[in-house]
Amino acid sequence: MEFLAMFSPFIRVRYSLRVTPFFCWFLLGFSLLSGGVHATAQPHIDLTALRPVWYGMYFGKDKVGYTSINFKTTRYQNQHAIEMNSDARMKLRVLGSEVEQISTQQTFMDGKGRILREVMDIRSQASRIHLEADFNYKSYKAECRFGTSDEKNKKTLDIPRDAAIIGDTNLPTLGAKMKVGQRLTQYYLDPISITFQKAIVDVTGRAKVRDLVTGRVVEVFVTTSNLSQMKMTSYEGEKDGMLRAEMGIGPIQIVMQREPKERALNTKDFALLSLPNREGNVYIPPKDFAVATAIVADKTIQDPRKVRSLDVTISGIPSKDLVLSDDSQQVEITKEAKGAVDAEYRIRSTEFDASQSLSLPLNDTSLQPYLSKAPYLDIENPGIVAVARKIRGDEKSLYKTATAIRDWVSNSMTPDPSIGVPRSATDIFNYRRGVCRDYATLFTAIARAAGVPTRLCAGIVYAEGRFYYHAWVECYTGKWVVLDPTLYSTKSPTSYVDATHIKFAQGDVIEMLKSTAVVGKLGVKVLHFSN
């Protein structure tokens, strides 16, 4: 029992949803609010601090879910260990549809507070992503096994040595003795990109917060955490654990509030959402999350799908790595400051001359990365291979093959934003519903299987007064050609993709995660557009 007393409470919340295009990836990152312990300076904390805890999740004034965390002592790898288990459920309205996500995490830690093993599982409808990671502090390697419902991958990571490894996001105090002015550096394992991400936590002050479980007013430390996708403010007592956390993406804020179990599982809230025919227990999701996080344009763009030229100034880009220039998108950085870049974008939409297309097969080793299997892109799936061969047939033109794949994906898929986890191409192929991320993922897998070099793209696109987060593809047919299987319609075909597509990331599915860093941070000023 004394071993258990060395650990402060751990907080973990996973909530995610599929908003526009790639936005579910951001929300997976956003949703990973969990705790770990610092590798040193472990205080002895009263065992009552390690009782099971419950938190309600709020989007504005609306309750959208809950999480529970439980602890116990155990043995792992022939040593004393502490085991943390957490369960979370969240539901929001996205693009008019209800998105529900259920997630679990199991974490084992040794007597030094070091993570020995993590198992994470995130489910939405019949789809899921799963990660198992085993940490070896002799070799300082983490062996990761990860994938979706139909896909398994392996990856070995170097464990950072310069700071604590914690749960996949962060509990600001980390079990360390706090004082105002203190700064903590941490790493957490991101289950989507399968990389260690750094978090900086500052202890900024003291405050008094009411503990809704005991009714007491508790003096707490106020901490701010800067993560790659968001900022978080939390309120935590030395003996009481975290009472409240506020997570912000631009103007959007989600709050995690510690509550009695009965309140967290109130019949109007998340625990009964999946139970049918319960009068008085109907859950009404809050305002549409996709709309709330979209970027309001300063000017109305008429007929956006017909725009061939667009000039905009974008402010607040969090990294120069997200500033991409190519044949269709020319970018000039106009201002650089710590943590933000402003740039002027000139996007031009042009038609590709099919007669200039290169022919299949393509023998260019520099393009091999865009023809290869990758996480979420299982191009060797028999069904995907068969469709690729059927669509390609005897066609030799790379461009005509790519557009035929676009037509097939557009006709075969049904819009459905209710599946709140990233999915493999196999999962999408077997259940042909989803949003643009799914359209783009399936397109890329089929195109690569057909021999067409293809990369996914993530960014924003204009619709109805706002720029929404979106995903599309580019195929190399002699040059990189933009295709959008989500917005394309075979009933009203166009030979170009409109110029309101603004790109921040490109490559494989994992590469697209970089674009999540822009959510809630951008401002867009429309300078000029024309059809």
What digits encode the pLDDT tens for the residues 327-338?
A: 999 999 999 988
What pLDDT, on the 0 to 100 scale, is given for residue 241? 82
What pLDDT, on the 0 to 100 scale, is given for residue 23? 36
Q: Which residues contact 410 (CB under 8 A, 6 or more apart)?
A: 439, 485, 486, 488, 489, 490
Q: Which residues contact 307 (CB under 8 A, 6 or more apart)?
A: 301, 349, 462, 498, 499, 500, 529, 530, 531
| pLDDT, mean of residues 56-68 | 84
- Stretch (H or E) spanning 482: strand 480-483
| pLDDT, mean of residues 506-525 | 87
What pLDDT, on the 0 to 100 scale, is given for residue 207? 94
Whether residue 285 has pLDDT greater than 60: no
The SS3 assignment for 264 reads helix
Closest CA to 280 of 267, 270, 266, 271: 267
More confident residue, 510 or 387: 387
Q: How far apart are CA 373 and CA 151, in angstroms?
A: 11
Give pLDDT tens digits for 409-449: 999 999 888 787 888 999 999 999 988 999 999 999 999 99
Q: Which of 147-156, 375-384, 406-415 has the lowest mean pLDDT?
A: 147-156
Whether residue 499 has pLDDT greater than 60: yes
Whether residue 225 has pLDDT greater than 50: yes
The phi and psi torsions of 29 (rounded to 5 degrees) equal: -65, -45
Percent of the chain with pLDDT over 70: 81
Q: How far apart are CA 529 and CA 162, in angstroms?
A: 49
Q: Which of 19-33, 294-308, 506-520 has the lowest mean pLDDT?
A: 19-33
Q: In the chain, how many H helices and how many E strands?
A: 8, 26
The phi and psi torsions of 262 (rounded to 5 degrees) equal: -65, -35
What pLDDT, on the 0 to 100 scale, is given for residue 288? 54
Query: Chain-centre distance of CA 430, in angstroms?
Result: 23
More confident residue, 201 or 418: 201
Q: How far apart are CA 247 and CA 225, in angstroms?
A: 9
Residue 270 pairs with which residues in a beta bridge? none
Residue corresponding to tokens 């297309």:
357
Contact 476, 453 (CB under 8 A): yes
Whether residue 503 has pLDDT greater than 80: yes
CB atoms within 10 A of CB 363: 5
Domain with CATH 3.10.620.30 in the chain: 294-530
| pLDDT, mean of residues 42-53 | 51
Contact 478, 398 (CB under 8 A): yes
Residue 227: burial class (beta carbons within 10 Å; 0-12, 13-18, 19+): buried
What pLDDT, on the 0 to 100 scale, is given for residue 125? 82
What pLDDT, on the 0 to 100 scale, is given for residue 32? 46
Contact 55, 78 (CB under 8 A): no
What pLDDT, on the 0 to 100 scale, is given for residue 50? 62
CATH number, domain 294-530, options 2.30.29.30, 3.40.50.10490, 3.10.620.30, 3.40.50.300: 3.10.620.30
Q: Which of 28-42, 388-402, 483-497 has the lowest mean pLDDT?
A: 28-42
Query: Encoding tokens for residue 416?
Result: 């459905």
Whether residue 18 has pLDDT greater than 50: no
Q: Which residues contact 305 (CB under 8 A, 6 or more apart)?
A: 487, 494, 498
Percent of the chain with pLDDT over 90: 50
What pLDDT, on the 0 to 100 scale, is given for residue 200? 87
Whether residue 167 has pLDDT greater than 60: no
Q: How far apart are CA 357 and CA 359, in angstroms?
A: 6
- pLDDT band for position 37 (50/70/90)? very low
Give pLDDT tens digits for 468-488: 989 999 999 999 999 999 999
Q: Cα dist. 353→86, 237, 462, 477, 479 in Å?
A: 55, 65, 26, 10, 11
Q: Which of 22-36, 173-187, 343-357, 412-426 has the lowest mean pLDDT?
A: 22-36
Q: Cα dist. 350→273, 303, 330, 488 in Å?
A: 48, 17, 14, 16
Q: Cα dist. 227→163, 181, 187, 231, 445 in Å?
A: 15, 19, 10, 6, 31
Mean pLDDT estimate for the chain: 82
b/e burial code for range 419-454 (CB count within 10 A of at least 16 → b): bbbbbbbbbbbebbebbbbbbbbbbbbbbbbbebbb
Whether residue 311 has pLDDT greater than 90: yes
